[in-house]
Amino acid sequence: MPTLHAVFTDADLEYLQNHFVTLDEACDRSGADAAEIRGRIAGGEIPAPSYVLDDGTELVPEDYFPLLDRAEFTRRYLAAGGDAADLAEDWEGYLSGLFGVCLREVTPETMVRKEQLVVSLTRLLEHPQPEDDAWRARLRREVDELDELEKPFAPDYDRSGRFPRPPTRDYLISAVRERYPELFATTARLTRS
């Protein structure tokens, strides 16, 4: 996971408290041995924490367990339509804990679907056809679906250089809704927080 020199703001800490649990809490809930889990993380077998606070507290998604081994991950990833050329990179992303930052449920299926939606939405936005009913319906449907898959992201920390570009939530959900407000007026809803 990339090392940041950014500081967690109070807004970040509130968000993290509402969307993540400590690794120790996750282990307690599942009956797993925390020392064994940390050893498996260090060995590159299972996902690292999505966030590590300044005091060393390790935060993982609430659905951290069950964990997938590479064979099960691969089987499910390919069955969901994942591109075999992207498999190694997405496995590394899974192990890094970064998919726990952005997805409400971290599964091979949601990872694949997010990528499909990002590609499709990017193409739709590169060739906008706001007068076309089919284009408008597809854009609205895909933005709403991506919204359902993605977490809100930490308000400051995840937008302070952690990623090479802004989170997809910012440019493929929020910005699209701002650019085409009439498309989302009938389906307007607050992002789950």
pLDDT of residue 160: 86
Task: Say how far apart CA 131 and CA 119 lie, in whole Å.
Answer: 22
pLDDT tens digits along 90-127:
999 999 999 999 999 999 999 999 999 999 999 999 99
How many other CB atoms are found less than 10 A from the CB of residue 141? 12
Q: Find where tokens 């409400």 sit.
A: 104
Rounded CA-CA distance 24/120 in Å is 38
Q: What is the pLDDT of residue 191?
A: 44
Average confidence score pLDDT of the chain: 92
The average pLDDT across 141-156 equals: 96
Residue 192 has pLDDT above 60, yes or no: no
Tell me the mean pLDDT in the region 62-87: 96
What is the residue whose two structure tokens read 């949601």?
110
Question: What radius of gyration, in Å, describes the C-alpha atoms of the chain?
Answer: 18
Please tell me what DSSP assigns to residue 172.
Answer: I
| pLDDT exceeds 70 at position 3 | no
Rounded Cα distance between 104 and 92, Å, is 18
3-class secondary-structure state, position 75: helix
d(CA 169, CA 150): 7
